[in-house]
Structure 1
Amino acid sequence: MPITLPPQALRRAAAAGATVTLGLALAACGANFNAQTQQAYQPAEGTNADSGSVGVRNMLVLASEDGKGVLHSAIVNTGRTADTLVSIASAPADAPETGDGQVPAEQPATVTFGGVRPMTLAPGASLILPPATGKPFTVTGGKPGSMIKVTITFAKAAPITASIPVLTTDHYSPTPRDDAGGESHG
């Protein structure tokens, strides 16, 4: 004996099917390669950039008001072979930026780097700047609040040119600077 449905039940089933299909179609609109959840998010102040298997993470300069500072960053090698950090130098203001999504500076400061020396990037490891032993990479000429354009050169990976921020030396301090003025917070 065949099962027959009244017309009202058929309409309800068709409406439910259309609702499910429309819901799936709308949900798929936010699940493609350009979905917000697929975009890189950088909660830190520094600059991130990549060149093949080598990545620069949170690169920034902490400097005093007179423009003398220290370079801070983590450089990671996610590859299977070692590479070498060869140099870090000031890039010309009109040098095109490489890496991923760097924001160009309006008027990059011209700076000089000191203490930069070749350092090995072991496979699957990271290099922290300033290094735990030895002298830090110094920066002269980058004042807090400015962006400086740098070129980071490696032995194997392509060079990275990016703008990095210069922040005050007490940037990570939880207490206000002495010269900030105003009332004391305590």
Structure 2
Amino acid sequence: MPITLTRQAVRRTFAATATVTLSIALTACGANFNAQTAQPYQPAEGTNADSGSIAVRNLLVMASEDGKGELHGAIVNNGADPDTLVSIASAPEGTEPAGATEDPVSVTFGNVRPMTLVPGQMLSLPPATGAPFTVTGGKPGDMVAVTITFGKAAPITTAIPVLTLDHYSPSPRADGGEAHG
């Protein structure tokens, strides 16, 4: 026995099909290469930068009010070949680092030594062994201009933030000093 639909059932079926088709078409408009969900998002305070297969993630300085601190972050080798972290230093005067919105501060780095970047692995800063990379001259609230040099990958010049030792970004106070919170 054949199934027959009433006119009302046909209209409802057509309306439901049109609604589903339209919703799929409208949803697809936002699903392209420039969709917001396809854009990088960094919920952390530090700076991200890339050089070929080397990815620097959440790089920042944690320092006391007197300008003495340590470098924190991670360097990941996403390539198939090993590389080497050769040096981290203040960027040369007059260099415009990526991400700089103000004049970056020049600092002195200490205990920086060559370190192997193993393919598919992350190097945490401060390193798990040996002395931490020290930073002198950057106070909380400053941006520091750095150049990171590798054995194979191109150098990265960028600006990184200086945070307080308790991980908070300083915010201006009414009296011109800094409040933390």
Using structure 1 for the length normalisation, give the TM-score. Answer: 0.79
Matched with 1:48 is 48
Contact residue 105 and residue 148 of structure 1 kept, 8 A:
no
How is 1:101-180 mapped onto 2 (pairs within 5 angstroms)?
103-171=99-167
Say which SS state the counterpart of residue 100 (structure 2) adopts. Answer: coil
Count residues with an aligned counterpart. Answer: 170
Q: Structure 2 regions of 5+ residues with no counterpart?
A: 169-177
Relative distance call for 1:132 and 1:7 in structure 2 (3 A) is: closer
Contact residue 151 and residue 161 of structure 1 kept, 8 A:
yes
Say which SS state the counterpart of residue 17 (structure 2) adopts. Answer: helix
How is 1:56-75 mapped onto 2 (pairs within 5 angstroms)?
56-75=56-75
Q: State yes or no: 1:17 paired with 2:17.
A: yes
**Matches of 1:147 and 1:93, distance apart in 2:** 14
**Matches of 1:78 and 1:65, distance apart in 2:** 36
Counterpart AA for 1:142 = G
Q: Structure 1 regions of 5+ residues with no counterpart?
A: 173-179, 182-186
RMSD: 2.5
Matched with 2:35 is 35
Matched with 1:177 is none
Relative distance call for 1:7 and 1:91 in structure 2 (3 A) is: same
- 1:133 Cα shift? 2.1
Relative distance call for 1:4 and 1:93 in structure 2 (3 A) is: farther
Identity %: 72
**Matches of 1:120 and 1:3, distance apart in 2:** 73
Counterpart AA for 1:59 = L
